[in-house]
Amino acid sequence: MKKILVIALFLVSSAIAFSYPVHITSWDIDSDVKILNSLQISVDSVNRNTGTIIVYVRDDNEFDKLLNNGFKAEKLPDLARQNALELQKIDSLEHTKDTYYTITQYQQFMIDTENQYSNICSLIQAGTSVQGRPIYFLKITDNPDIEEAEPEFKYVSSIHGDEVVGYDMCIRLIQLLTTQYRIDPRITNLVNSTEIYICPMMNPDGYVLGQRYNANGVDLNRNFPMPTGIQHPDGNQWAPETIAIMDFSNAHHFVLSANFLGGGLIIKKNGSPFTFCYYDIDANSNDWNANPLWGGSSSTSPYDTLYGVSHTRELASGVNLTLTYARQEGSSSYYDDLELASAGIMIGF
């Protein structure tokens, strides 16, 4: 029985690890994204100018599903996965400035930082991943064991396990805030006047596996409730990682959050750090009805009002900045966010 179980687990993990990106040529973006959402295919990016949709599939069965539904689909090399797997080759606790922390190094770093800077740091385990790894937040403030009447900021990275530039950026932010406290006046003032919560690695299992998904094959960035009230937009129950972040967020009153992703460029404003990227809203409208992909309207929303505005501006040739602002009144839950990612270069606000 034990041998059968081991074989079964190996086959499941092998199937999950086979996930890869797919290029879809589309002649009707709106219609095709609707179909992809109904098929519970993870949409990564959309380009109306070129008629291109990039999705992630978990295995060849999902790829065949695209073909069977008439999509012109082409497999792409998963460069993010290849790069992420390279990071797992170093097993020692030694670390240099030019390498990424392995998961063991990362966990030890978080523990050591709390111990070394206990006057301004408190390590919080918000939850546990599918495979039992801790999901850490490091609280940095002048009185870390006290809830003071100060603005609360939240930084989260690597909701996709193979998108890791933000992971390293959050680690370096922790190093900057701790080592320069009482040395740099600006940083000292930030630490003394705010409560900063940093989670460099939300998807530790995905990081270890070198994949986008968690260990159960769930895309965590499609696993959160939608502003429209839909609780399980991806058809999956909430993953342990999802529940950990939701519970942690609901226990606090964050005035600003940033979620670090890789490979795209998105900016959203305020609140929970998760993208509801089933599609954006018409830049010329203040009504969710303007975007048929949401499949609902403000009149049927569980909130008193629900609306969104999206604006795109060209920053450079071929590089666009999209601002999406969503808001609801009459509810204690806020799903807005501020997120900026640019092909591996991420900036948090």
Based on the domain organization, do 216 and 332 belong to the same domain? yes
Model confidence pLDDT, tens digit, residues 31-56 = 999 899 888 898 888 888 899 999 98
Task: Name the percent of the chain lying above pLDDT 70.
Answer: 65
234: in domain: yes
**What is the average pLDDT score of the chain?**
74
Based on the domain organization, do 65 and 104 belong to the same domain? no
Whether residue 12 has pLDDT greater than 50: no
Please report which helix (H) or strand (E) contains residue 10, including its range: helix 2-17
Edge-first strand listing for the sheet containing 134-140: 121-128, 134-140, 195-199, 152-157, 254-260
Residues of 185-195 as b/e, b for ≥16 C-beta within 10 angstroms? Answer: eebbebbeebb
Based on the domain organization, do 50 and 98 belong to the same domain? no
53: in domain: yes
Whether residue 311 has pLDDT greater than 80: no
Q: Domain of 207?
A: 92-278+324-346
Distance CA 320, CA 182 (A): 39
Based on the domain organization, do 100 and 216 belong to the same domain? yes
Distance CA 36, CA 233 (A): 12
Based on the domain organization, do 36 and 165 belong to the same domain? no
Edge-first strand listing for the sheet containing 52-57: 42-47, 52-57, 20-25, 72-75
- Mean of the pLDDT values across residues 260-276? 49
pLDDT for 98:
59
Based on the domain organization, do 112 and 170 belong to the same domain? yes
- Mean of the pLDDT values across residues 241-262? 92
pLDDT for 255:
92
Task: Name the percent of the chain lying above pLDDT 90.
Answer: 49
Q: Is 285 exposed, middle or buried (0-12, 13-18, 19+ CB in 10 A)?
A: middle
Token readout for 247 is 């519970």
Whether residue 297 has pLDDT greater than 50: no
Answer yes or no: are the C-beta atoms of 177 and 155 closer than 8 Å.
Answer: no
Domain boundary among 67, 84, 101: 84
Q: Which of 163 and 276 is assigned the larger pLDDT? A: 163
Say which CATH number the domain at 34 has: 3.30.70
Q: How many other CB atoms are found less than 10 A from the CB of residue 27?
A: 8
pLDDT for 89:
61
What is the CA angle 276-258-23, rounded to 5?
45
Domain boundary among 40, 55, 84: 84
Q: Which of 90 and 280 is assigned the larger pLDDT? A: 90
Based on the domain organization, do 115 and 177 belong to the same domain? yes
317: in domain: no
Please report which helix (H) or strand (E) contains residue 114, including its range: helix 103-116
Q: How many domains does the chain have?
A: 2
Model confidence pLDDT, tens digit, residues 58-103 = 889 999 999 999 999 999 987 766 766 666 565 544 545 557 899 9
Model confidence pLDDT, tens digit, residues 236-250 = 999 999 999 999 999
Q: Which of 25-39, 80-94, 102-116, 148-162 has the lowest mean pLDDT?
A: 80-94
State the DSSP code for 248. H
99: in domain: yes
Domain boundary among 59, 84, 109: 84
pLDDT for 303:
26
Q: Which of 93 and 343 is assigned the larger pLDDT? A: 93
